[in-house]
Structure 1
Amino acid sequence: MNVLITGASAGFGKALAERLVAQGHQVIGCARRLDKLNEMAETLGELFLPVVMDVSDTESIPQVMANLPKSFSQIDVLVNNAGLALGTEPAQKSELDDWMQMVNTNIKGLMALTHAVLPAMVERDKGYIINVGSIAGSWPYYGGNVYGATKAFVKQFSLNLRADLIGTQVRVTNLEPGNVAGTEFSNVRYHGDENKAAQVYEGFKTMTGEDIGDILLWLIESPAHINVNRLEVMPVAQTYNGLTIAKQNS
């Protein structure tokens, strides 16, 4: 089985790549940082193919796909894992560039790569697309503005893919994690402020990138006649809270 993973150089993507190779699957690991990918290739061996890809550069994706070696060219599973959140300010104080970068990566990049691999899956009547969404696509929170909106798109796009693929054996899942430590998510969100990033995970037991890697592997190796439409996962310490009310001082 050939599995293409975006955002493969860290976090969920790296954890999944390690698990897939251990199970004997071939992995096309895509990310922007070639040095990180090459480090993984040294450890994982010939089953791991490092590929430089910036999914936000959508025009480059067809050429990258066309240049894959023949033995890796058939994509059996696509894991759209590349994505990011930038900033925690309310909408009125946010940077427009941050908004645009989230849209370009989380939405446009995911669309372009899906568009590149889906027709061949339909032609073979076999394949699996796993989109890594977020609970932010369902549950709004302060400072989540455009990030949450991009993940809401991923959720609805995944469901609509399922609708379009009726009558085929191609599967689609939207995996929607909550709080996860051990990735670069918060480091990126806080623009490299390590102290603020660390505070996000203090004081409770959260999930890890390895936990999400295990879930992704379970999805990929689940029976081909079963489709998990959406899978929302959170640490036990995280749950829904009451609606917020801003009360006036009397």
Structure 2
Amino acid sequence: RRLHEGHPSMIILVTGAGGPAGRAVVRRFTGQGHTVIGVDRSGAEGCLPVDLLDADAVGRLAADVRAEHGRVDGIVHLVGGWRGSKTFAETSLDDWAVLHDLLIRTLQHVTLAFEPLLKASERGRFAIVSAKAAERPTQGNAAYGTAKAASEAWTLAFADALEGTSSTANILVVKALVHEDMRAASPERTFPGFTDVDDLAAAVGDLWSTDANGTRIDLTATQGETA
């Protein structure tokens, strides 16, 4: 099986592995012969049922990975979700609380626990998926856009911590994601500017072809929209 050029089999951690994007990333890396550790709170098939909101549980996961592999070569953090409203005045701070946990707190726990293991890699890569809403939030996306912007800031701080090592952290930016089930459910829609989950997985794989660190990689530019 074909591996990343010049690289032996890698240890890849995929969080949120039970969702459509997670499954696409898992397929890509397992298809290349890499060892993939899928994590999803739902306990989806093939995934470890770890609650990433539990810092102790994440710490135990990191300890288990260290004991078995000694390092991690890639972390693809795909825990997400969306909450919004029609107008700014209708924004629910309960939605903010949910998004804070999903988009920020899980990211914090994973990066803090796995930083030493990523630094132990000869060429480690970390990535989150962010959204155009972080740059230009609409009134109904106040909570979501703010949470995405905060997750970007945390990732950029993580990138700074990795500066001077052989590992990097970057942000993949999409308008939204689309997968085959969405197309099947709405065959009349064209989903302009959306990024297919398989294209997202390919973009994750491309991170090993660059030494860029702390960058925002805009995938919407390849989907007919400018950055």
Q: Shared topology, TM-score over 0.5?
A: yes
TM-score, normalised to structure 2, is 0.81
1:222 corresponds, among 202, 209, 221, to: 209
- 1:202-247 deviations in Å (ceiling 9; x for gaps): 344443211211211222x315x4447210121645558xxxxxxx
User: What does residue 131 of structure 1 align with?
Assistant: 128
| Structure 2: segments with no counterpart, 5+ residues | 1-9
- Matched residue of 1:52: which SS? coil
- Tell me which amino acid in the other structure corresponds to 1:230: R
Shift of 1:99: 1.1
Mapped partners of 2:197, 2:143: distance in 1: 23
Greater Rg over alpha carbons, structure: 1
Residues 111-150 of structure 1: pairs in structure 2 closer than 5 A: 111-123=108-120, 126-150=123-147
User: CA separation in 1, counterparts of 2:14 and 2:190?
Assistant: 32
Query: 1:1-250 residue pairs with structure 2 within 5 A?
Result: 1-34=10-43, 36=44, 38=45, 41=46, 50-68=47-65, 70-72=67-69, 74-123=71-120, 126-182=123-179, 202-205=189-192, 206-219=194-207, 221-223=208-210, 225-227=211-213, 229-234=215-220, 236-238=223-225
Using the TM superposition, give the Cα deviation of residue 16 of structure 1 relative to its aligned residue in structure 2, in angstroms.
Answer: 0.8
2-side partners of 1:13 and 1:214: how far apart?
12
**Percent of residue pairs identical:** 24
- Describe the superposition over 1:17-76 as per-residue Cα deviations: whole angstroms up to 9, x where unpaired: 100001011101011222x3x2xx4xxxxxxxx211222333421123334484456211
Q: 1:22 to 1:94 in 2, by over 3 A?
A: same
- Aligned length, in residue pairs: 214
Structure 1 unmatched ranges of 5 or more: 42-49, 187-194, 241-250
Deviations 1:159-213 (A, max 9, x none): 22233333222211111111322289x9xxxxxxxx9xx69x9344443211211
- Verify the 8 A CA contact 1:6 1:31 in the aligned structure 2: yes
RMSD value, Cα: 2.8
